[in-house]
Chains A and B, each alone.
Chain A
Amino acid sequence: MVDPVPETRSGLLDRYQPVGAFDEAFDDDGSVRDTYSRIVERFRELDVDEIKRLEKLVADEFRRQGITFTVYSEDEGTERIWPMDLFPRLIAAAEWEELARGLSQRVAAMNCFLADLYNGGGQAIADGVLPRWLVMSSQGFERNAMGIAVPHSAHCNVAGIDVVRDADGRYRVLEDNLRSPSGISYVVENRAAMAKACSWLFYDHAVQPTEQYGQMLRSTLESMAPGGEDDPHIVVLTPGIFNSAYFEHAFLARSMGVELVEGRDLVVDGHSVYTRTIEGLVKVDVIYRRIDDDFLDPVAFRPDSTLGVPGLLSALRAGTVAVCNALGNGVVDDKGVYPYVPELIRYYLGSEPIIDNVTTYMMWDPDQRREALDRLDELVAKPVGESGGYGVLIGPHATEQQLDEARATIEAEPRDWIVQELVQLSTLPSVADDRLEPRHLDLRPFVLTGERTQVFPGGLTRVAMRRGSLIVNSSQGGGSKDTWVLAPEAP
């Protein structure tokens, strides 16, 4: 049975006013952009009651399935229902194709850099593409990763690249996540919830599916098996049910048809990793780990970690198991390395970056620091080692006292900070009480690399739920949207 198409007209969009940023659905003169013409029409047919009904339907669905994330306060976590806004984000086929090319290019260059750094003698550093001290002082640089063979030189098997659209609508990379980027499960579940609650919205569009992610990830991980094992034993390694992303870890294991294990389920014997089953030990070939480097092996890293597997590093060195993503990727996540990625693209691939960075000032450069600190009230300061939006100072929203404190902190530890031009993130209509209002958003597409590179169509659109806010992180009150990559028009 299909949902009836609502016929009411309520003017949910009548008072829609862009907020001085690039609006992805509406042009500057208020006319609807082509890509969004049919979806806007459908939303104009809805009234507040219907929107509320649909929102409840989606929330109930997420609640019933336990699709949650955990927000940590001082010392305890709270499970919250995943927030999804009903107005989807649409990306036209040609636009996506260009974006996907840019993402592949960027991840390829970062993989080249990681392979060069850990297995190739550091040619880029020797050639002065980026300074040695910067790399060596990165918290994400991992000496233990030196010399560990990585199949296909694919150090980053799953990358989440955060992109935004600037005031002109151009995509720019805001941040690279090459350790354990999360969010893909919500991409798939958002689509499933939209398809259940608002199936009629899809009638007018050919939308690329999302449920194939498990297959894509599995084939990527299979290609990473040491010695090209035909039917490798793959596991997903989770810190456990209390981790904020546990739902995602279970989702990934289920959608790949592999086991979800904790550190205590694994044991290293004779430089090989095994699962502990009721029938004894069973050898593991590939571990898709969702545990940070520091916690992976208490023998090599943090001795107080009970989440990892003692001896795992010895197995890695022996080449009996692959750990994905590879050890030491955090060096590229370091926001201090981020400004050099365009140059890495030129160096390794000999081509110009398809997607630009956001203009970034490196605080360890005295000239750039002086310029940035003078204008800090117009800029955004970010700690290089944080993620999830923590520690970010948005100049125009900060008080004088906060700005002064930030200046002092940056002056004291310039290596720990970058400062960026403020990007007025693009907006899309989003449900706000009894109407649709513009809300800022970003996009995290996922790039999979094993024997070959694949860009998953779409990604996680995160949206700031408060008017004018630029904070899209779910841990800080952000929401999400279903992301539709449209199939190419039939000729």
Chain B
Amino acid sequence: MILARHAEALLWTGRYLERAETTSRCLNYAANSITHLRGDEARAEGELMVRTLGLQEELEAVGPLESQPQLVAFLLSDTDNPGSVVSAVIAVRENLRSVRDRIPIELWEEANGLYLRFPFLGHANVAPAGLHEVLLMVRRACLAISGVLNEGMRRDEGHAFVVVGRMLERSIFTVGLLEASHSDARGVMDATRMLRLTSSLQAYHRQHGNAPDPDGVVRYLLHAPDLPRSVLSCLSRAEEGLTGLGVNAAPLDRARRKAALLRARLELGEVEEAMTSAPVATLQDFAAQLAGLASDVHAGIVPPLAMATVQAQYVRPGHADEPAHEGEPGHAGERAQ
């Protein structure tokens, strides 16, 4: 049995680990492509990348992107942007730190090691020539962490939650990428771009030849059962993770059913059919359902019964509006002895 708080921390570990790796890959692509583009085209590519990553709201707080260094700062080192690489790395470390007692030591060391490399890498120090190295370092570290997760962690509930978190994040990204690509203001769907941003170019070439057409790539990224970043593959693994949690985790039933339903919609071709007439609306609808699935997983982690018990018994007189427990920095509590 896993503590609800631990389950939540591990779920977010999975999500942020995936985010760190995805954003690094996207930033690397954006940085490379922008060097070949000029003016409005470069700006459009930057904006498309932000939309692909679902960071429009975060960007609004910063203002429009005027230059490549701004894009790099926003996606790499802006700690106010929860989608930046550094924010994701910090979140992975903090979440793992809060479950340090139940994860393999090597997993903690890898995550801590990645985090420790960043205090020395403020945006100002990342010259364009060094950006690729930094991003490569992050991606390699993420792969190392994945390796420890796969090979060093017991297949218990904690492992299942990390997998579920990663698969949710990944499927949300892939659908976001397809939706952003369909609605690119330049009116061109770049098939190679979609494949590169999902690390799927090589796999696609081997299966379908080296002249990718946009529609074929969209189908591939939605349906390919053997492609780790296809939406179908992600949903299957998320469903498998949720199912593996056992029959006792009843509050997660709703999420389990929703994952199965979304998978079935893909397998039965419903999504593909709907996309023929309204691709953007279909993808937007699917993205909303994925977000709903993520909410159901979160809701299922904290059993409503336990929450009700806490609130019914322990709300203090005169403080009916305050939750009984709110996170508080714990520097009090245990005196130095």
Q: Write the nearest CB–CB distance from A371 to chain B, whole angstroms.
A: 30
Among B54-62, B220-228, B285-293, B327-335, the stretch that binds chain A is: B327-335
Q: Do B245 and A278 have beta carbons less than 8 Å apart?
A: yes
CB within 8 A of B116: which of A63, A261, A299, A310?
A63
Q: Is A450 in contact with chain B by the CB < 8 A criterion?
A: no
B331 with A243: CB separation less than 8 A? yes
**Residue B125 lies at the interface, judged by CB distance under 8 Å to chain A:** no
Contacts of B249 in A (CB 8 A): 278-279
Asked whether A276 and B337 contact (CB < 8 A) given A70-B331, A268-B313, the answer is: no
Return chain A residues, CB-CB under 8 Å to B336.
182, 244-245, 387-388, 473, 475
In the bound assembly, the distance between CA atoms of A86 and B328 in angstroms comes to: 38
Contact: A160 with B337, CB < 8 Å?
A: yes
Q: Are A279 and B1 in contact (CB under 8 A)?
A: yes
Q: Does A254 interact with chain B (Cβ within 8 Å)?
A: yes
Q: Which of B97-105, B199-207, B231-239 contacts A (4 or more CB under 8 A)?
A: B97-105
Cα separation A239 to B332 with both chains bound (whole Å)? 8
Contact of A277 among B2, B97, B109, B326 (CB under 8 A): B2
Contact (A64, B112) CB under 8 Å given A269-B309, A279-B248, A303-B316: yes
Given A267-B306, A306-B328, residue A278 in contact with residue B334 (CB < 8 A): no
Residues from chain A with Cβ under 8 Å of B98 in the complex: 240-241
Question: Once the chains bind, are B4 and A276 in contact (CB under 8 Å)?
Answer: yes
| Contact partner, A311, options B97, B313, B329, Cβ 8 Å | B313
Chain A residues lying within 8 Å of B246, measured Cβ to Cβ, are 279
Cβ contacts under 8 Å, A259 to chain B: 3, 6, 101-102
B320 to chain A, nearest CB (A): 15
* Contact B109 A278, beta carbon cutoff 8 Å: no
Contact of B333 among A177, A279, A291 (CB under 8 A): A291
- Determine the residue in chain A with the shortest Cβ distance to B1: A277
A250 sits at the interface (CB 8 A): yes
B36 within 8 A of A: no
Chain B residues with CB under 8 Å of A267's CB are: 306, 309-310, 313
- Neighbouring B residues of A279 by C-beta, 8 Å: 1, 246, 248-249, 303
CB distance from A288 to the nearest CB of B (A): 12
B4 touches A245 (CB 8 A): no
Decide if A470 is an interface residue (CB 8 Å cutoff): no
Taken residue by residue from 272 to 295, chain A's Cβ proximity to chain B (1 for < 8 Å, 0 otherwise) reads as 001111111110000000111001
Enumerate chain A residues within 8 angstroms of B38, measured Cβ to Cβ. Answer: none
A181 in contact with B1 given A64-B113, A278-B301, A310-B313 (CB within 8 Å): no
User: Contact: A240 with B102, CB < 8 Å?
Assistant: no
B5 and A264: CB pair below 8 A?
Answer: yes
> Does chain B have a CB within 8 A of A77?
yes
Instruction: Kindly supply a per-residue 1/0 record for chain B positions 105-132, scoring 1 wherever the CB is within 8 Å of any chain A CB and 0 otherwise.
Output: 1001100110010000000000000000
By beta carbon, the residue of chain B nearest A77 is B331
Whether A292 contacts B331 in the complex (CB less than 8 A), given A259-B102, A278-B300, A303-B316, comes out as no
Q: Is the CB of B5 within 8 A of A310?
A: no
Contact with B along A249-276 (1 / 0, CB 8 A): 1110110001111111101110000111
Taking CB atoms and an 8 Å cut-off, the chain B residues in 244-271 that contact chain A are 245-246, 248-249, 251-252
Q: Is B302 an interface residue (CB 8 A)?
A: yes
- Contact call A282/B1, Cβ cutoff below 8 A: yes
Across the interface, do B100 and A254 meet the contact criterion of CB distance under 8 Å? yes
Q: How far is B6's CA from A238's CA once the two chains are assembled, in angstroms? A: 14
Sort chain A's interface into a size bin: 35 or more
| Interface: A340 (CB within 8 A) | no
Task: State in angstroms the CA–CA spacing of A265 and B327 once bound together.
Answer: 11
Residues in B with CB closer than 8 Å to A244 are 331, 334, 336
Whether B112 pairs with A179 at a CB distance below 8 angstroms is: no
**Given A267-B310, A281-B306, do A241 and B97 touch, yes or no (CB 8 Å)?**
yes
CA distance A64 to B310 in the complex (A): 39
Contact between B330 and A388, CB atoms less than 8 A apart: no
Chain B's closest residue to A233 (CB) is B1
The answer to whether B302 and A276 have CB atoms under 8 Å apart is: yes
B7 at the A/B interface (Cβ < 8 Å)? yes
Judge whether B143 is part of the interface by a CB distance below 8 angstroms: no
| B179 is an interface residue with CB less than 8 A from chain A | no
**B169 at the binding interface (Cβ < 8 Å):** no
Contact of A276 (CB < 8 Å), options: B3, B327, B332: B3
A269–B191 Cα distance when bound, in Å, is: 58
Q: In the bound complex, do residue B333 and residue A275 qualify as a contact, i.e. CB atoms below 8 Å apart?
A: no
List the A side residues contacting B102 at CB < 8 Å. 253-254, 259-260
| Closest Cβ neighbor of B245 among chain A residues | A278
Expressed in whole angstroms, the Cα–Cα distance for A105 and B301 within the complex equals 48
Known: A72-B331, A244-B331, A278-B7. A182 touches B337 (CB 8 A): yes
The minimal Cβ–Cβ distance linking A419 to chain B, given in whole angstroms, is 22
CA distance A11 to B302 in the complex (A): 63
Closest residue of chain B to A473, judged by CB? Answer: B336
Distance A367 CA – B281 CA, assembled complex (angstroms): 89
- Inter-chain CA distance A461–B252, complex, in Å, is 49
Q: Is the CB of A253 within 8 A of B335?
A: no
Query: In whole angstroms, how far apart are the Cα atoms of A310 and B101 in the complex?
Result: 24
Contact of B306 among A65, A253, A280 (CB under 8 A): A280
Q: Give Cα A267 to B307, complex, Å.
A: 9
| B101–A179 CB distance below 8 A | no
Q: What are the residues of chain B within 8 A of A238 when measuring CB–CB?
A: 330, 334
Residue of B nearest to A274 (CB): B306
Q: Please determine whether B335 and A180 come into contact, CB atoms closer than 8 angstroms.
A: yes
Is B296 interfacial (CB-CB < 8 Å)?
no
Instruction: Determine which of A64, A72, A265 lies in contact with B109 in the assembled complex, contact meaning CB atoms within 8 Å.
Output: A64
CB of B274 within 8 Å of the partner chain:
no
**Are B324 and A307 neighbours in the complex by a CB distance under 8 Å?**
no
A306 interface neighbour in B113, B302, B326, Cβ under 8 Å: B326
Alpha-carbon distance A290/B337, docked complex (angstroms): 11
Are A388 and B337 neighbours in the complex by a CB distance under 8 Å? Answer: yes
Tell me if B334 and A239 are in contact (CB < 8 A).
yes
Question: Which of A64, A70, A254, A307 touches B332 (beta carbons < 8 Å)?
Answer: A307
The reply to whether the CB of B305 lies closer than 8 angstroms to some CB of chain A is: yes
Residue B240 is within 8 A (CB to CB) of chain A in the complex: no
Query: How far in angstroms is the closest Cβ of chain B from A242?
Result: 4
Residue from B2, B112, B331 whose CB has the most chain A CB atoms within 10 Å: B331
Name the residue of chain A whose CB is nearest to the CB of B300: A278
Q: How far is the CA of A280 from the CA of B2 in the complex (A)?
A: 10
Residue A66 at the chain B interface, CB threshold 8 Å: yes
Docked pose: A350 CA to B326 CA in angstroms: 51
What are the residues of chain A within 8 A of B301 when measuring CB–CB? 278
Which residues A452-491 have CB closer than 8 A to chain B?
473, 475
- B246, B252, B303, B328 — which one has the most chain A CB atoms within 10 A of its CB? B328
Some 7 contacts from A to B, beta carbons below 8 A apart, are: A66-B97, A66-B112, A179-B337, A244-B331, A250-B100, A276-B3, A278-B157
B residues apposed to A, CB below 8 Å: 1-7, 94, 97-98, 100-102, 105, 108-109, 112-113, 116, 157, 245-246, 248-249, 251-252, 300-303, 305-306, 309-310, 313-314, 316, 324-337
If A276-B5, A278-B1, A282-B1 are given as contacts, then 5 extra A-B residue pairs at C-beta distance below 8 Å, sorted by A number, are A66-B112, A239-B333, A262-B5, A278-B252, A310-B313
Give the interface of A toward B (CB within 8 A): 63-66, 70, 72, 77, 160, 177, 179-182, 236, 238-246, 249-251, 253-254, 258-265, 267-269, 274-282, 290-292, 295, 298-299, 303, 305-307, 310-311, 333, 387-388, 473, 475
